[in-house]
Structures are given as structure tokens and as C-alpha cells.
Chain A
Amino acid sequence: MNLDFSQNHFELFGLPVGFEVDAGALADSYRALQAQLHPDRFATADDKQRRLSVQGASWVNEAYQTLKDPMRRARYLLELRGVTFNDESETSSDPGFLMEQMELREALGEVREAADPMAALDEVGDRILALDRALTDGFEQAYAGDDLMAAKDAVLKMKFFRRLREEVERLEAELEDELA
């Protein structure tokens, strides 16, 4: 088979370019590609073929991970439109948003002192999920309306929520272990 590295990730999986992705179609297409490309299919082939297969399978894996994850997918869409991200220095500068983040962090910090820590954690977790969902909707609208600056700001904000969600999961694990 031929693998065209100049294709973008959506083209690779035969999907329309856009934030909305059919998860089932993506997974099916991914498996079909891996079934052809994976190094296990070339276990008895020569070194060159095996090397090519590793490259191809790696590329398909990376593309799949990118499209599967909403935040990475959003960022990739913007990169296709020529938006660049500078990871070290860039962050959202919306003061209201940053204030909200601080409040959420404080609320998380106080979960342990609550009478029912699990319930308190669930409550903060739900708030975080709702805000994160609203942010995703905001990205979709901005992207559809070609407001790339607003869309980029939404992606930068998504990063904050990702860290908060990780924090929630970690805390949940700790609490469960203590209660078990």
C-alpha cells in the first residue's frame, strides 16, 4: 500500500476536516490502517520494509491520538490554518478566566476538610466538567466563525482544565485508597 505523508490527519483517515469527528469511523479507519502497516505484519520481511512499517505505524498512531483527543484535535485544526503555538511562553491572559481558575483550585484544596470529602470532590468535579464543556462549545463557535484568535485562546484555556481534571482524578484516587 502507499502511504502519503503529505496528507493531513483527517485525510489519512478519510474524514472531513472539522472539530466534529465520528469516533466510530475514526476507530475503524485507524484499525484498518494499522492492520496493513503494523510491524507485526512484517515480522519476516527485510530490514528496510520493517523500518518503513515502524515509521508508517508510528505516524498513524500519532494522527489517531491527535484526532481522538478534543484538545489536541482543536489545536491541530488551528495549526492546519496556520496558527502557531509557542508552548513555553503562551498562556491565556483573560483575567476573569484566571480568577475562576484560582477559585476552582482553592475549592479543590478544601475538599479534604469537607464533612464528606467524596461528595465535595464530586461537586467541584462537576463544575469543572461543565465549564470545560462550555469552553469546547466556545471553541467550536469561534472556529466555525473563522475567529481564529478566539479559538486559539480557547485552546490555551483547555490546557488549564486538563490540569484541573488530572488533579481531580488524583485526589479521587487518594480518597478512595484512604477509604478502602
Chain B
Amino acid sequence: MALLQISEPGMSTAPHEHRLAAGIDLGTTNSLVATVRSGVAETLPDADGRHILPSVVRYQAEGEPVVGHAARDAAASDPLNTIASIKRLMGRGQGDLKTVAGHVPYEFAETDSAVPRLRTAAGDVTPIEVSAEILRSLRARAEASLGDELAGVVITVPAYFDDAQRQATKDAAKLAGLNVFRLLNEPTAAAVAYGLDQGGEGVIAVYDLGGGTFDISILRLNKGVFEVLATGGDSALGGDDFDQAVAEWILEQSGIGEVDDHRQMRRLMRAACAAKEALTDAERTTVRVERVDGSDWEGELTRGTFKALVEPLVKKTLSACRRALRDAGVSKDEVENVVMVGGSTRVPVVRERVGEFFGREPLVDIDPDKVVAIGAALQADILAGNKPDEETLLLDVIPLSLGLETMGGLVEKIVPRNTTIPVARAQDFTTFKDGQTAMSVHVVQGERETVEHCRSLARFALRGFPAMVAGAARIRVTFQVDADGLLSVTAEETLSQVRASVEVKPSYGLTDNEIETMLTDSFSHAQDDMLARRLREQQVEADRVIEALDAALAADGERLLDDAERAAILAAREVLVETRAGEDSDAIKAAIGRVEKASEAFVARRMNQSIQQAMAGHKLEEFE
């Protein structure tokens, strides 16, 4: 057999050439970019000195999409065009939307493509494109800050992300013009940030409590090799639930009872969140809220009460820790380091209980919002070849088993979960019927025994092998998973050497062609006649606003508005109809703004109502 020739690492890199590299934490709620400068990893701020970029994109009929704080601030007034939490939709197919629709306030476009599209003022967009906008914004920030183009980036993903979700993340990076050195698991990045890769051996637990999700990962470090042993968590548990618990306490203590007004609910949640944050440093804090009749209620929340309120939530996270330890096959006292990630780990009672559970002080020195981005930056610096003496190697495992559908809708696992990647594995199959000359290959991912309970990744056919009696053909199916956890599958009839292969993408990712089209689209767009386009877009936008408003008024106008409110909205609508007939795009835009302003409260009430209806009787896990 031939010898495989591989040059020494770093050989292709010219000496002393420093490549610019960055680490990106692409989060559900917030995103960050970090880089290594003069040996120190740090997150990069925007022009206003803010490090965190809210993962929110607002699409407008005119101009570029708005990303970050400005987009988040517009979420209440323009909910349908302001896309938040897009990470939850990454790598999800049309079929998955049935479970998500109604729970995210977006409109989905009817499409033949496997990838869902969200309807916005700027046209239909895919989750990949939305994520690409966030990445583009971070890229611009990094390149402005570093003064040159990035050679490559490391992007972090949750350890449990499946093939489709990883592929979607990579596609988004490609669309944003980024070269991805590696997708890195978030917990591994956090451990790297603490330099745990530098010292010896041992088991590390990464406890990640964010705004809306909780993840626990158990890693093993052995002579510079990181292995993810197990992951677990709760996709619907986070700091927001702490706020909710405090808000409920306020309602009960103040005698306010039920709140049906969206704005008051927001004020209440803000007060709850502020109280929670105050208790990080203080033993007690004063809570003040306005009752419906305008009078004030004032009460005192102590750390003790707060602790009791959130105890059930913290307990839930600890049960998940126990399960993850068991999956990893390690006991609590084998855990040598506990890394805290996510803003909610600032809460003292969380630190305390996690410390008690593992029997050791958790690591909290690095800002828990930034720790993942910092770890990614350190790894990006190494992969760029800037530290040729670095010996650390991060070996990841696949989070979910990969397999094939066999007769009767059963799953044959080819690569079991927690297998170290990259990996290639082959299995032989044979024909079922006499004279069979084709075989269909259905690739799935998941732990369950039956196909309908696993995620379908791809289907393809192997055709044209010679007819033989049943059981005589030898079809070898090979799974290759690369270091990012991405899969390609090859099938070959070994006697006749007929081959077929597929990069596992088409089911939920975008094909390379689709990406090309998006890239060319974005170029040709820029060459349009700007003025004519702006007018046309504003007219379309005006029509959309009027149509949406009319539908909303017909549905809920009587119930949710009083006469004065309704009159104000109708007056603004009248002005818009008139300006829309003209040719002044700025005037149309202003008129749209006035309609939106007038109907702001109405929109908020409707949203609140639909969310309450949608949430009744459902748990968030169903939508993950």
C-alpha cells in the first residue's frame, strides 16, 4: 500500500509571519469576538466601547440590515423584522418548524428548499444568512481593530450541536467571508481560556448557565489532549427563569396578582432582574414597582429569600450535572476543576451550590460572558501557526451517534456517540431481493433505535451495480467525520466497484450552489439603481404595514383598543395611504414610522397575548 506523505506541522508556514486570527463566540443571546495581542487574549469592543454584540438582526426595506444593540432596541416596535435567538433555528429543516412556529414571532415563507426562510421587509432570509450578518459585524469589528484581514477564525458551538447545526454554522461563516480554522466546542474553549490545557491531567466540569439555556460538559485532559466525555443540560433553563421567579414573588408580595399588560410585565421583569443583580454584592435590596392604580409598592428582598426562590432551579441544574457525570463514567471527586461560564453564574447562590456539589471552589476569575470567546481566540492563535511550539491538541468527540436506516425502519449505528474525531468507519451491507441493482442509503443521527426518532441527515442512492441473488452483493458504506464533526458518506459495491457518495449537507444546510447564489445576489443588489429601489421598497413596505395593520385591527381591534387609541391609529394609517401614492420615499418612510409608533402598544399587547396562548401547555424543550 502507498505511503502517506505528510510534511511536518508548520512547514508550509513561512517563518516569523504573524497571521491575524480571532475567536468568535456566536451565542443565542449575545456574541463576542476576541483575539490575541502581545500574548494576551482579549475581547474586542465596538466603537462605543461595548464588547457584547446582541445576536439580533433587524432587516429593513431600505439599506443594510442592522445588527446588535440598535436591532435589539427595535425588537418591540418591529418584531417581525427583528430576528433574535436565530441560533435555535440553525440547522433546522422545514419539518422542524412545525414545532417552532407560533413560538418565535416570525413569519416563515413557503419554499421548496429544505432550509426554512423567514419573511422580512428585506425579503426572505435563511437562519444561515441571519447568522452571517452577525458574523460579518464581528468580522468588521475585528478587522477595524487589527488593521488587516483575518487569516482565519475559530467559532464556538455547543458541544451537543449535531452535524446539521455545525454545517449551518460553517456555511454562515463562509457567507460572511470568514475562513474557519475550526469549530470548537464551547466548554472546551472555556477550559482553554483558563489555561487548563497547560497543566497536567484531570477531569474538568464546565457549568454554563446563560440567559435561557443550561449546559454541563465533562472533559478529560490528558497530556495536552482534551476529550469531551459527556454533555448534558436543559435547553429551557437559565437566568431568565431566575427573573421570572423573582417577578412572581413581587406579584404575590405586592398583591398585584395577574399582569396582562405587556409593558407592565416588562417593567416588572426589569425590576426582578435588577434585584437579582443587586444581590450579587449586597445581602438585601429594595424592590419598588408601580401598581396598576399608579400607587407604589415597596418591599425588601434578602439573599435568603432569593436563594429559596431559585433553589428549585439550581437543583435542576445539579441533577443534570449528576447525569452528565454518570454518562462520563466519573465520580464527583475525580473532578479537579469546575469552570463557570455564562452571566448567570455571577449569582452567588449558584456559585455556592455548584461549589458544594463538586466539593471544590469553581473557577470564576475570567468574566463568564467572555470566557468562551477568549478560549476560542487562544486556539485560533495556535491554529494560525503563531505559536509553533504549542503542543496542546484538542480532540473532540461526536455528540450523537451516526447511522443508517436498515430494513424495517431500524437504525444501524456506524459511529457511536463520544467517538473521537476525525474518524472513518465502514460497514458492509447486502441486498434484500434477487436481481436488486440499486440501494437507497438513508443517513441518520441520534441515539434511538428507530428512524423516525432520529434526525434525518441525508438520502442518496447507489445505482447500477450488477444484478445478483439476494445477499450476494457487498455494499460498503463508509462514514468520514472530520475534525469539525462534519460528515461525508460513501457507498460502494465492492465486487463491481460502483460508487456513490454524498457530503452530508443538502438536508438542512445550504448547497454550495445556494451559497454562490447568495453571494452573487448580494453583489448585484449593490449595483441596482439605488433611488428607484428605495422608493419601490418603501412602497412595498407601506403596503405591508397597511395590510398587517388592517388584519390586526380586524382580529383584535375591538378587544385590545379603546376608541381614542383606535382613532389615533386610523389617522396615522390615512396619512400613510396618501403618501404611499406619491413618489417621496423619505415621506413614506416617515409615515410608516408614525403608524408604527401609533400602534406600538397595540402590537405589544397582541404579541403578549399570542405568546401566552402559544406557551400554554408546552415546554420549551419541545422546540429545541
Given contacts A3-B3, A38-B483, A49-B12, contact A59 B424 (CB under 8 A): yes
A133 close to B (CB within 8 Å): no
A-B contact pairs, 28 of them (CB 8 A): A1-B8, A2-B6, A5-B2, A28-B223, A31-B223, A39-B483, A40-B181, A41-B10, A42-B9, A43-B384, A45-B7, A49-B6, A54-B483, A55-B424, A57-B483, A58-B424, A58-B480, A59-B424, A61-B420, A61-B422, A62-B424, A64-B420, A65-B420, A172-B326, A173-B326, A176-B322, A176-B326, A177-B319
A3-B4, A58-B480 known; 14 new pairs, CB 8 Å cut-off, are A2-B4, A3-B3, A31-B225, A34-B393, A43-B152, A44-B384, A46-B12, A54-B483, A56-B4, A58-B424, A61-B422, A173-B326, A176-B322, A176-B326
Contact with A along B207-247 (1 / 0, CB 8 A): 00000000000000011110000000000000000000000
How far is B9's CA from A42's CA once the two chains are assembled, in angstroms? Answer: 6
A141 close to B (CB within 8 Å): no
A52 close to B (CB within 8 Å): yes
Given contacts A5-B2, A45-B12, A53-B6, contact A31 B224 (CB under 8 A): yes
Point out the residues of chain B lying under 8 angstroms from A58, CB to CB.
421-424, 480-481
- CB under 8 Å from chain B, chain A span 49-100: 49, 52-59, 61-62, 64-65
Of the candidates B10, B322, B419, which one forms a contact with A180 in the assembled complex, judged by CB atoms under 8 Å apart? Answer: B322
Q: Decide: B152 and A61 in contact? CB cutoff 8 A.
A: no
A35 close to B (CB within 8 Å): yes
Of the candidates A3, A34, A62, A172, which one forms a contact with B6 in the assembled complex, judged by CB atoms under 8 Å apart? Answer: A3
Residues of A bordering B, CB below 8 Å: 1-6, 27-28, 31, 34-46, 49, 52-59, 61-62, 64-65, 172-173, 176-177, 180
Point out the residues of chain A lying under 8 angstroms from B2, CB to CB.
5
Most chain-B CB neighbours within 10 Å: which of A37, A57, A172?
A57
B425 close to A (CB within 8 Å): yes
Q: Decide: B6 and A39 in contact? CB cutoff 8 A.
A: no
Contact with A along B1-45 (1 / 0, CB 8 A): 111111111101100000100000000000000000000000000
- CB under 8 Å from chain A, chain B span 174-224: 181-182, 222-224
From residue B370, how far is it (CB to closest CB) to chain A in Å?
23
Point out the residues of chain A lying under 8 angstroms from B491, CB to CB.
none
Point out the residues of chain A lying under 8 angstroms from B100, CB to CB.
none
Q: Decide: B393 and A5 in contact? CB cutoff 8 A.
A: no
Of the candidates A5, A40, A62, which one forms a contact with B4 in the assembled complex, judged by CB atoms under 8 Å apart? Answer: A5
From residue A61, how far is it (CB to closest CB) to chain B in Å?
5
Residue of A at shortest CB range from B416? A65
Point out the residues of chain A lying under 8 angstroms from B8, CB to CB.
1, 36
Point out the residues of chain B lying under 8 angstroms from A41, CB to CB.
9-10
From residue B410, how far is it (CB to closest CB) to chain A in Å?
13
From residue A4, how far is it (CB to closest CB) to chain B in Å?
6
- CB under 8 Å from chain A, chain B span 308-342: 319, 322-323, 326
B383 close to A (CB within 8 Å): yes
From residue A87, how far is it (CB to closest CB) to chain B in Å?
9
How far is B391's CA from A42's CA once the two chains are assembled, in angstroms? Answer: 14
- CB under 8 Å from chain A, chain B span 478-495: 480-483
Point out the residues of chain B lying under 8 angstroms from A27, CB to CB.
222-223
From residue A80, how far is it (CB to closest CB) to chain B in Å?
16
B74 close to A (CB within 8 Å): no
Of the candidates B182, B225, B319, B480, which one forms a contact with A34 in the assembled complex, judged by CB atoms under 8 Å apart? Answer: B225
- CB under 8 Å from chain A, chain B span 392-441: 393-395, 419-425
Of the candidates A2, A28, A38, A62, which one forms a contact with B423 in the assembled complex, judged by CB atoms under 8 Å apart? Answer: A62
B385 close to A (CB within 8 Å): yes
Q: Decide: B422 and A40 in contact? CB cutoff 8 A.
A: no
B151 close to A (CB within 8 Å): yes
Residue of B at shortest CB range from A27? B222
Point out the residues of chain A lying under 8 angstroms from B382, CB to CB.
40
Point out the residues of chain B lying under 8 angstroms from A55, CB to CB.
4, 424
Point out the residues of chain B lying under 8 angstroms from A52, CB to CB.
4-6
Residue of A at shortest CB range from B315? A180
Q: Decide: A54 and B222 in contact? CB cutoff 8 A.
A: no
How far is B4's CA from A49's CA once the two chains are assembled, in angstroms? Answer: 10
Point out the residues of chain A lying under 8 angstroms from B420, CB to CB.
61, 64-65
How far is B425's CA from A64's CA once the two chains are assembled, in angstroms? Answer: 13
How far is B19's CA from A131's CA once the two chains are assembled, in angstroms? Answer: 58
From residue A158, how far is it (CB to closest CB) to chain B in Å?
17
Q: Decide: B421 and A61 in contact? CB cutoff 8 A.
A: yes
Residue of B at shortest CB range from A57? B422
Q: Decide: A40 and B225 in contact? CB cutoff 8 A.
A: no
Of the candidates B223, B385, B393, which one forms a contact with A43 in the assembled complex, judged by CB atoms under 8 Å apart? Answer: B385
How far is B5's CA from A49's CA once the two chains are assembled, in angstroms? Answer: 9
Point out the residues of chain A lying under 8 angstroms from B394, CB to CB.
40
How far is B482's CA from A31's CA once the two chains are assembled, in angstroms? Answer: 18
How far is B3's CA from A3's CA once the two chains are assembled, in angstroms? Answer: 6
How far is B478's CA from A54's CA once the two chains are assembled, in angstroms? Answer: 14
Q: Decide: B12 and A43 in contact? CB cutoff 8 A.
A: no
Given contacts A40-B483, A44-B383, A54-B422, contact A34 B395 (CB under 8 A): yes
Point out the residues of chain B lying under 8 angstroms from A3, CB to CB.
3-4, 6
Q: Decide: B223 and A65 in contact? CB cutoff 8 A.
A: no
Contact with A along B362-390 (1 / 0, CB 8 A): 00000000000000000000111100000
Q: Decide: A44 and B13 in contact? CB cutoff 8 A.
A: yes
How far is B151's CA from A172's CA once the two chains are assembled, in angstroms? Answer: 49
Point out the residues of chain A lying under 8 angstroms from B19, CB to CB.
44
From residue B141, how far is it (CB to closest CB) to chain A in Å?
22
From residue A68, how far is it (CB to closest CB) to chain B in Å?
10
- CB under 8 Å from chain A, chain B span 276-324: 319, 322-323
Q: Decide: A44 and B151 in contact? CB cutoff 8 A.
A: yes
Q: Decide: A44 and B482 in contact? CB cutoff 8 A.
A: no
Residue of A at shortest CB range from B483? A39
How far is B543's CA from A102's CA once the two chains are assembled, in angstroms? Answer: 72
Residue of B at shortest CB range from A4? B3
How far is B1's CA from A4's CA once the two chains are assembled, in angstroms? Answer: 8
- CB under 8 Å from chain A, chain B span 489-532: none
Most chain-B CB neighbours within 10 Å: which of A3, A34, A61, A173?
A61
Q: Decide: A177 and B152 in contact? CB cutoff 8 A.
A: no
Point out the residues of chain B lying under 8 angstroms from A62, CB to CB.
423-425
